[in-house]
Amino acid sequence: MTARGSTPPVAAAALLMLVTSCTGASSDRSDGRPAPSAISRPVIDRAEAKEVFAAYDRTNARADTAMDDAAQGQVQTGVLLKESLAAY
């Protein structure tokens, strides 16, 4: 479990997937690496990823401080949301 206001591992993993977003393209090379034309650009760049984390942290911190179930539901779902709400 993470400290209140810190980024949970699930969110960090999801953001990492967005930033690195690989394609399932096949390889034309004998070494198994994708051909240069098969390499895609990330869905979002690092600056945008930092903005996503900052928005999450702000919303999460406000929700925790106010013990606001609805606000917490804007940035968390599933088991993580249930754990956060149980802490209230």
Give the pLDDT score at 1.
44
41 is written with which tokens? 């650009």
The pLDDT score that the predictor gives to residue 30 is 73
| Burial class of residue 74 in the structure, from the number of CB atoms within 10 Å of its CB (0-12 exposed, 13-18 middle, 19+ buried) | middle
First to last CA, the chain: 15
Q: Can you give the pLDDT at residue 4?
A: 53
Closest to 88 measured CA to CA, from 75, 74, 77, 70: 70
pLDDT for the residue numbered 42: 82
Q: Tell me the Cα Rg of the chain.
A: 18
Q: What is the pLDDT tens value at each position of the chain, 88 positions in all?
A: 445 555 566 666 666 565 555 555 555 567 777 666 656 778 899 999 999 999 999 999 999 999 999 999 999 999 999 998 998 8
